[in-house]
Structure 1
Protein backbone atom coordinates (compact mmCIF):
# COMPACT_ATOMS: atom_id res chain seq x y z
CA UNK A 1 0.00 0.00 0.00
CA UNK A 2 3.06 2.31 0.02
CA UNK A 3 5.26 3.08 -2.99
CA UNK A 4 8.10 5.45 -3.83
CA UNK A 5 7.54 7.62 -6.89
CA UNK A 6 9.55 9.90 -9.15
CA UNK A 7 7.67 12.16 -11.53
CA UNK A 8 9.20 14.47 -14.13
CA UNK A 9 6.69 17.17 -14.88
CA UNK A 10 6.62 20.22 -17.14
CA UNK A 11 4.01 22.84 -16.38
CA UNK A 12 4.29 25.96 -18.50
CA UNK A 13 7.93 27.10 -18.40
CA UNK A 14 8.81 25.05 -15.30
CA UNK A 15 10.19 21.53 -15.53
CA UNK A 16 10.87 19.70 -12.28
CA UNK A 17 11.51 16.24 -10.90
CA UNK A 18 9.35 15.38 -7.90
CA UNK A 19 10.47 12.62 -5.55
CA UNK A 20 7.93 11.35 -3.08
CA UNK A 21 5.59 8.66 -1.88
CA UNK A 22 2.23 7.28 -2.94
CA UNK A 23 -0.05 5.58 -0.44
CA UNK A 24 -3.27 3.62 -0.84
CA UNK A 25 -5.72 4.35 2.00
CA UNK A 26 -9.34 3.75 2.97
CA UNK A 27 -9.17 0.34 1.34
CA UNK A 28 -12.65 -1.15 0.89
CA UNK A 29 -12.08 -4.01 -1.54
CA UNK A 30 -13.55 -4.44 -4.03
CA UNK A 31 -15.56 -1.19 -3.87
CA UNK A 32 -13.30 1.78 -3.16
CA UNK A 33 -9.93 3.19 -2.13
CA UNK A 34 -8.04 6.47 -1.89
CA UNK A 35 -4.70 7.05 -3.61
CA UNK A 36 -2.65 9.81 -2.00
CA UNK A 37 0.76 11.17 -2.94
CA UNK A 38 3.22 13.88 -2.06
CA UNK A 39 6.49 14.93 -3.68
CA UNK A 40 9.18 17.55 -3.38
CA UNK A 41 10.60 19.20 -6.48
CA UNK A 42 13.52 21.19 -5.07
CA UNK A 43 13.37 24.88 -5.95
CA UNK A 44 10.23 24.25 -8.02
CA UNK A 45 8.30 23.54 -4.83
CA UNK A 46 6.07 20.68 -3.76
CA UNK A 47 3.02 18.86 -5.05
CA UNK A 48 0.52 16.71 -3.22
CA UNK A 49 -2.81 15.29 -4.11
CA UNK A 50 -4.78 12.18 -4.65
CA UNK A 51 -7.99 10.64 -5.82
CA UNK A 52 -10.98 8.92 -4.26
CA UNK A 53 -11.75 5.91 -6.42
CA UNK A 54 -14.94 3.84 -6.58
CA UNK A 55 -15.38 0.57 -8.43
CA UNK A 56 -18.82 -0.67 -9.49
CA UNK A 57 -19.67 -3.95 -11.20
CA UNK A 58 -21.16 -3.52 -14.68
CA UNK A 59 -22.39 -6.96 -15.59
CA UNK A 60 -20.40 -10.15 -15.02
CA UNK A 61 -17.22 -9.13 -16.87
CA UNK A 62 -16.86 -5.36 -16.52
CA UNK A 63 -16.14 -2.76 -13.86
CA UNK A 64 -16.79 0.98 -13.92
CA UNK A 65 -14.03 3.05 -12.28
CA UNK A 66 -14.93 6.58 -11.14
CA UNK A 67 -12.53 9.01 -9.49
CA UNK A 68 -12.45 12.49 -7.99
CA UNK A 69 -8.92 13.91 -8.10
CA UNK A 70 -7.49 16.81 -6.14
CA UNK A 71 -4.09 18.53 -6.20
CA UNK A 72 -2.20 21.18 -4.23
CA UNK A 73 1.11 22.81 -5.07
CA UNK A 74 3.41 25.28 -3.35
CA UNK A 75 6.63 27.11 -4.07
CA UNK A 76 7.73 28.43 -7.45
CA UNK A 77 5.37 26.15 -9.35
CA UNK A 78 2.37 27.68 -7.55
CA UNK A 79 3.15 31.03 -9.19
CA UNK A 80 1.88 29.63 -12.49
CA UNK A 81 -1.72 30.11 -11.38
CA UNK A 82 -4.56 27.89 -10.31
CA UNK A 83 -6.07 27.46 -13.80
CA UNK A 84 -2.90 25.97 -15.26
CA UNK A 85 -2.34 23.79 -12.18
CA UNK A 86 -5.95 22.55 -12.21
CA UNK A 87 -5.96 21.72 -15.93
CA UNK A 88 -2.59 19.95 -15.60
CA UNK A 89 -3.78 17.89 -12.61
CA UNK A 90 -6.92 16.84 -14.50
CA UNK A 91 -4.82 15.88 -17.52
CA UNK A 92 -2.40 13.84 -15.36
CA UNK A 93 -5.25 12.06 -13.55
CA UNK A 94 -6.83 11.20 -16.89
CA UNK A 95 -3.54 9.83 -18.24
CA UNK A 96 -2.96 7.79 -15.10
CA UNK A 97 -6.39 6.15 -15.07
CA UNK A 98 -6.29 5.59 -18.84
CA UNK A 99 -2.97 3.74 -18.52
CA UNK A 100 -4.32 1.88 -15.49
CA UNK A 101 -7.36 0.79 -17.51
CA UNK A 102 -5.14 -0.48 -20.33
CA UNK A 103 -3.05 -2.53 -17.88
CA UNK A 104 -5.93 -4.15 -16.02
CA UNK A 105 -8.43 -4.25 -18.87
CA UNK A 106 -6.38 -6.54 -21.07
Structure 2
Protein backbone atom coordinates (compact mmCIF):
# COMPACT_ATOMS: atom_id res chain seq x y z
CA UNK A 1 0.00 0.00 0.00
CA UNK A 2 1.30 3.42 -0.90
CA UNK A 3 0.08 6.82 0.26
CA UNK A 4 1.23 10.31 -0.48
CA UNK A 5 0.17 13.79 0.42
CA UNK A 6 1.15 17.40 0.82
CA UNK A 7 0.46 19.94 3.55
CA UNK A 8 1.07 23.68 3.28
CA UNK A 9 2.07 24.73 6.79
CA UNK A 10 1.96 28.37 7.87
CA UNK A 11 5.32 28.20 9.61
CA UNK A 12 8.97 28.71 8.68
CA UNK A 13 10.87 25.59 7.67
CA UNK A 14 13.13 25.65 10.75
CA UNK A 15 10.09 25.46 13.06
CA UNK A 16 8.51 22.68 10.98
CA UNK A 17 11.79 20.73 11.06
CA UNK A 18 12.14 21.17 14.83
CA UNK A 19 8.58 19.91 15.33
CA UNK A 20 9.18 16.88 13.08
CA UNK A 21 11.93 15.90 15.53
CA UNK A 22 10.02 16.69 18.75
CA UNK A 23 8.66 13.57 20.52
CA UNK A 24 5.86 15.52 22.26
CA UNK A 25 4.69 16.99 18.95
CA UNK A 26 4.82 13.61 17.22
CA UNK A 27 2.82 11.98 20.02
CA UNK A 28 0.17 14.72 19.86
CA UNK A 29 -0.29 14.06 16.14
CA UNK A 30 -0.51 10.25 16.09
CA UNK A 31 -4.19 9.20 16.19
CA UNK A 32 -4.86 6.84 19.11
CA UNK A 33 -1.39 7.29 20.61
CA UNK A 34 -1.33 6.33 24.30
CA UNK A 35 2.41 6.68 24.88
CA UNK A 36 5.47 7.83 22.99
CA UNK A 37 8.86 7.47 24.66
CA UNK A 38 12.28 8.40 23.33
CA UNK A 39 14.81 5.55 23.49
CA UNK A 40 17.45 7.65 21.73
CA UNK A 41 17.54 10.72 19.52
CA UNK A 42 16.44 8.57 16.58
CA UNK A 43 14.24 5.85 18.12
CA UNK A 44 10.92 5.99 19.96
CA UNK A 45 8.67 3.38 21.55
CA UNK A 46 4.96 3.87 21.04
CA UNK A 47 1.63 2.37 22.06
CA UNK A 48 -1.22 3.13 19.66
CA UNK A 49 -4.83 1.95 19.67
CA UNK A 50 -6.25 1.54 16.18
CA UNK A 51 -9.41 0.06 14.71
CA UNK A 52 -9.57 -1.46 11.25
CA UNK A 53 -13.07 -2.61 10.46
CA UNK A 54 -14.10 -5.05 13.19
CA UNK A 55 -10.55 -5.41 14.53
CA UNK A 56 -9.50 -3.01 17.29
CA UNK A 57 -6.10 -3.54 18.83
CA UNK A 58 -3.39 -1.96 20.89
CA UNK A 59 -0.19 -1.89 18.89
CA UNK A 60 3.17 -1.71 20.64
CA UNK A 61 6.10 -0.84 18.46
CA UNK A 62 8.92 1.43 17.58
CA UNK A 63 9.58 4.35 15.28
CA UNK A 64 13.02 5.14 13.87
CA UNK A 65 14.04 8.40 12.20
CA UNK A 66 16.88 8.07 9.69
CA UNK A 67 18.63 9.66 6.73
CA UNK A 68 18.14 13.12 8.22
CA UNK A 69 19.11 16.04 6.03
CA UNK A 70 18.76 19.01 8.39
CA UNK A 71 15.74 21.14 7.45
CA UNK A 72 15.10 19.21 4.24
CA UNK A 73 14.05 15.58 4.71
CA UNK A 74 14.13 12.36 6.67
CA UNK A 75 12.77 8.84 6.69
CA UNK A 76 10.46 7.35 9.30
CA UNK A 77 10.28 3.58 9.77
CA UNK A 78 7.82 2.03 12.17
CA UNK A 79 6.54 -1.37 13.08
CA UNK A 80 3.97 -2.46 15.60
CA UNK A 81 2.64 -5.71 17.01
CA UNK A 82 -1.05 -5.93 17.83
CA UNK A 83 -1.11 -9.41 19.33
CA UNK A 84 -3.81 -11.57 17.75
CA UNK A 85 -4.78 -8.68 15.44
CA UNK A 86 -1.45 -8.97 13.63
CA UNK A 87 1.25 -6.49 12.79
CA UNK A 88 1.81 -3.35 10.81
CA UNK A 89 4.91 -1.85 9.19
CA UNK A 90 5.27 1.62 7.76
CA UNK A 91 7.98 3.58 6.00
CA UNK A 92 7.67 7.21 5.00
CA UNK A 93 9.85 9.80 3.33
CA UNK A 94 9.09 13.32 4.50
CA UNK A 95 10.48 16.40 2.73
CA UNK A 96 10.19 20.14 3.23
CA UNK A 97 10.46 23.08 0.83
CA UNK A 98 9.89 26.78 1.34
CA UNK A 99 6.74 28.26 -0.11
CA UNK A 100 5.31 31.75 0.16
CA UNK A 101 4.01 32.19 3.71
CA UNK A 102 5.41 28.94 5.08
CA UNK A 103 6.59 25.45 4.32
CA UNK A 104 5.32 22.68 2.10
CA UNK A 105 5.57 19.22 3.65
CA UNK A 106 5.34 16.26 1.27
CA UNK A 107 5.19 12.63 2.32
CA UNK A 108 5.35 9.33 0.49
CA UNK A 109 4.50 6.36 2.67
CA UNK A 110 4.27 2.61 2.24
CA UNK A 111 2.60 0.22 4.66
CA UNK A 112 2.04 -3.48 5.05
CA UNK A 113 0.01 -5.54 7.48
CA UNK A 114 -0.12 -9.19 8.48
CA UNK A 115 -2.19 -11.51 10.63
CA UNK A 116 -5.90 -10.86 11.14
CA UNK A 117 -5.53 -7.38 9.68
CA UNK A 118 -4.41 -8.83 6.36
CA UNK A 119 -7.53 -11.02 6.24
CA UNK A 120 -9.92 -8.05 6.48
CA UNK A 121 -9.30 -6.98 2.93
CA UNK A 122 -6.68 -4.76 1.40
CA UNK A 123 -9.13 -2.07 0.31
CA UNK A 124 -10.42 -1.46 3.85
CA UNK A 125 -6.94 -1.68 5.41
CA UNK A 126 -5.56 0.66 2.77
CA UNK A 127 -8.38 3.14 3.35
CA UNK A 128 -7.83 3.16 7.13
CA UNK A 129 -4.05 3.42 6.81
CA UNK A 130 -4.38 6.32 4.36
CA UNK A 131 -6.85 8.03 6.70
CA UNK A 132 -4.45 7.65 9.66
CA UNK A 133 -1.52 9.08 7.67
CA UNK A 134 -3.68 11.97 6.48
CA UNK A 135 -4.94 12.63 10.02
CA UNK A 136 -1.40 12.64 11.40
CA UNK A 137 -0.22 15.27 8.91
CA UNK A 138 -3.38 17.40 9.31
CA UNK A 139 -2.88 17.42 13.09
CA UNK A 140 0.79 18.19 12.59
CA UNK A 141 -0.09 21.11 10.30
CA UNK A 142 -2.63 22.52 12.79
CA UNK A 143 -0.29 22.19 15.78
CA UNK A 144 2.78 23.60 14.06
CA UNK A 145 0.86 26.49 12.48
CA UNK A 146 -0.57 27.39 15.91
CA UNK A 147 2.91 27.20 17.46
CA UNK A 148 4.39 29.44 14.76
CA UNK A 149 1.50 31.89 15.15
CA UNK A 150 2.03 32.03 18.94
CA UNK A 151 5.78 32.54 18.42
CA UNK A 152 5.15 35.40 16.00
CA UNK A 153 2.80 37.10 18.49
CA UNK A 154 5.05 36.59 21.50
Q: TM-score scaled by structure 2?
A: 0.66
Alpha-carbon offset, residue 85 of structure 1: 1.2
Runs of 4+ in structure 1 off by over 4 angstroms are none
Per-residue CA distance 1:56-96 (angstroms, 9 max, x = gap): 0013x400001111110001111011111111111000000
2:86 and 2:94 map into 1 onto residues whose CA distance is 27
How many residue pairs get aligned? The number is: 105
Give the number of the structure with larger relative contact order, counting CA–CA contacts within 8 Å between residues 6 or more apart: 2
Q: 1:50 aligns with which of 73, 91, 103?
A: 91
Aligned to 1:98: 138
Alpha-carbon offset, residue 50 of structure 1: 2.3
Unaligned segments of structure 1, at least 5 residues: none
| Conservation of the 8 A alpha-carbon contact between 1:69 and 1:90 | no
RMSD: 1.0
Q: 2:56 aligns with which of 15, 18, 27?
A: 15
Q: 2:67 aligns with which of 18, 26, 33?
A: 26
Q: TM-score scaled by structure 1?
A: 0.94
